[in-house]
């Protein structure tokens, strides 16, 4: 059943244009995905919700968009070149590799004997310029955080910030993961939304707890069901080389509880390391104590893709027995994607009830007027039931139906995706009505 749910979601994503397998015409590329017309809208809405909450919602947090390629010394300082590796074992029979923590005595695929554990670098290597030599090696960033640490002085100078303050960033990262899978859950190219929140060391625990609460609240505010979300503290043995404490926000996926976001106390590790390797002064002068300190860093680090999958799974609802049809085949699997209204790719659809010129004309007029503010759709093709179902399946919160009465009373019927309630609203009032619901999404 749970497996089925994932399969159904993957197939919906393909069929409706949320997510496609990458390079599909060439047979695809393992664990690489492309976001289609609706997927890119959903993704942008998630990023927008995060950005607004994490930067515009706080006077002491600013944004950054650093480059993916960084000076190789960055990775020496951060410890990634040395420590960004997972101990791996290889099956002597089928030569598949696995993370040590994922296997026991024998190969899970063919029960073959496993090798001793070896280290493997997770960063993708690339070369700058025409010559592939050692001097020209660069790495694709495996986290966005380092772009923030190396800009610490730049940002402080321009933004005149006092502790505690934060820098937020969204961007692509790359990890040469050994095991990938579960659709977009673990891929080799993905996006992260990270906040590095700089605090006085004595206040680190307080802010660590603060961000744990804030981040959980963010998922709930966007509609994730409480029973599907939990916080799990890391054991000491699980901590990354730079972290003093770490916890995961986990979502109950059909394949089990799994991390969507990590919250870490990275201490002063990164700033001190960059100060040491670059020779630059990255300390902070505390006006009150007249002391130079290295701030501690609390980092809520979310993916974009994993939360997106969580939002999709949480919203995916099969209506037993159907609700818009009497057709047997459809009745068995009628799907409504109950996405939060702000996250929904299409905000509403304008549908002429039947294919008659005056209705089409009025419906188009409404569409033309309101498409200036939101991503909406106009659809005149097929029966009205079929068009409702299509919009339900892609999570469109409202359908506006233009009928013959609309020509007389200048009203349309607004159908709510979740309650199926229908109300008549004045065409002239639609803009204000939706502005309140969708805010600026």
Binding site for ligand ATP (CB under 6 A): 175, 177, 186-187, 190, 192, 259-262, 301-303, 305-306
Q: How far apart are CA 177 and CA 99, in angstroms?
A: 10
Task: Compute CA distances 247 → 168, 303, 327, whole Å.
Answer: 19, 15, 48
The helix/strand/coil state of 417 is coil
Comparing CA positions, the residue from 20, 53, 49 lying closest to residue 343 is 49
Q: How far is the CB of 104 from ligand ATP (least distance, A)?
A: 19
By beta-carbon proximity to ligand ATP, the closer residue of 301 and 391 is: 301
* Residue among 308 and 366 whose Cβ is closer to ligand ATP: 308
Smallest Cα–Cα separation from 45: which of 223, 298, 180? 223
Give min distance, CB of 83 to ligand ATP, in A. Answer: 12
Least distance (Å) between residue 264 CB and ligand ATP: 7
Residue number closest to ligand ATP, CB atom: 303
**Closer residue to ligand ATP in complex, CB, 262/345:** 262
Closest CB to ligand ATP among residues 299, 340: 299
| Closer of 262 and 397 to ligand ATP (Cβ) | 262
CA nearest neighbour of 208 among 164, 264, 270: 264
Q: Least distance from C-beta 285 to ligand ATP, angstroms?
A: 31
Residues 258 and 251 sit within 8 Å (Cβ to Cβ): yes
| Cβ at position 101, least distance to ligand ATP in Å | 9
User: Is cis: bond before 164, omega within 30 of 0?
Assistant: yes
How far apart are CB 184 and ligand ATP at their closest, in Å? Answer: 7
Closest to ligand ATP by CB, 21 vs 385, is 21
Looking at residue 124, what DSSP letter applies? P
Helix (H) or strand (E) holding 413: strand 411-416
Q: What are the residues whose beta carbons fall under 8 Å from the beta carbon of 337, sequence distance 6 or more?
A: 12, 312, 315, 316, 317, 344, 392, 393, 394, 395
Classify residue 25 by its DSSP letter: G
With respect to ligand ATP, which residue has the nearer C-beta, 90 or 261?
Answer: 261
Q: Least distance (Å) from ligand ATP to the CB of residue 12?
A: 20
State the Cα–Cα distance between residues 268 and 242, nearest whole angstrom: 9
- Minimum CB distance to ligand ATP, residue 18 (Å): 16
Indicate the residue among 46 and 350 with the shorter CB distance to ligand ATP: 46
**CA 259 → CA 250, 310, 312, distances in Å?**
4, 10, 15
User: How far is the C-alpha of 350 from the C-alpha of 381, rounded, in Å?
Assistant: 12
Q: How far is the CB of 56 from ligand ATP (least distance, A)?
A: 22
Q: Which is nearer to ligand ATP, 120 or 438 (CB)?
A: 120
The whole-angstrom separation of Cα 143 and Cα 195 is: 11
């Amino acid at each position: 059943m749970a497996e089925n749910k994932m399969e159904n979601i993957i197939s919906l994503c393909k069929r409706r244009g949320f997510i496609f397998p990458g390079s599909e015409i060439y047979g695809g590329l393992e664990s690489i995905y492309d976001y289609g017309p609706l997927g890119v809208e959903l993704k942008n809405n998630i990023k927008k919700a995060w950005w607004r909450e994490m930067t515009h919602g706080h006077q002491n947090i600013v944004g950054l968009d650093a480059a993916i390629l960084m000076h190789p010394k960055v990775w020496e300082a951060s410890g990634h070149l040395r420590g960004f590796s997972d101990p791996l074992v290889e099956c002597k029979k089928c030569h598949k590799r696995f993370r040590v923590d994922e296997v026991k005595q024998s190969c899970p695929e063919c029960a073959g004997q496993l090798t001793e554990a070896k280290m493997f670098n997770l960063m993708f290597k690339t070369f700058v310029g025409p010559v592939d030599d050692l001097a020209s090696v660069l790495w694709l960033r495996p986290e966005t955080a380092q772009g923030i640490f190396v800009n610490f002085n730049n940002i402080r100078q321009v933004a005149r910030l006092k502790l505690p303050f934060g820098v937020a960033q969204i961007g692509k990262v790359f990890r040469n993961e050994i095991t990938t899978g579960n659709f977009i859950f673990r891929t080799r190219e993905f996006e992260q939304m990270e906040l590095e929140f700089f605090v006085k060391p004595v206040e680190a625990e307080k802010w660590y707890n603060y961000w744990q609460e804030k981040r959980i609240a963010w998922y709930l505010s966007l509609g994730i069901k409480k029973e599907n979300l939990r916080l799990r503290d890391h054991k000491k043995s699980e901590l990354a080389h730079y972290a003093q404490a770490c916890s995961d926000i986990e979502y109950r996926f059909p394949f089990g509880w799994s991390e969507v976001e990590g919250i870490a106390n990275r201490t002063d590790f990164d700033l001190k390391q960059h100060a040491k390797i670059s020779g630059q002064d990255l300390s902070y002068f505390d006006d009150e104590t007249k002391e130079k300190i290295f701030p501690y860093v609390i980092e809520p680090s979310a993916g974009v893709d994993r939360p997106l999958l969580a939002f999709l799974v949480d919203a995916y609802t099969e209506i037993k027995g159907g609700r818009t049809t009497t057709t047997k085949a459809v009745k068995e699997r009628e799907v409504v994607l109950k996405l939060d209204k702000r996250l929904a790719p299409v905000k509403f659809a304008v549908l002429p009830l039947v294919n008659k010129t005056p209705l089409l004309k009025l419906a188009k007029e409404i569409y033309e007027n309101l498409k200036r503010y939101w991503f909406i759709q106009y659809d005149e093709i097929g029966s009205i039931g079929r068009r409702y179902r299509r919009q339900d399946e892609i999570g469109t919160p409202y359908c506006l139906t233009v009928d013959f009465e609309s020509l007389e009373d200048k009203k349309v019927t607004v159908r709510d995706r979740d309650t199926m309630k229908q109300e008549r609203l004045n065409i002239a009032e639609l803009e204000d009505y939706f502005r309140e619901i969708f805010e600026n999404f």
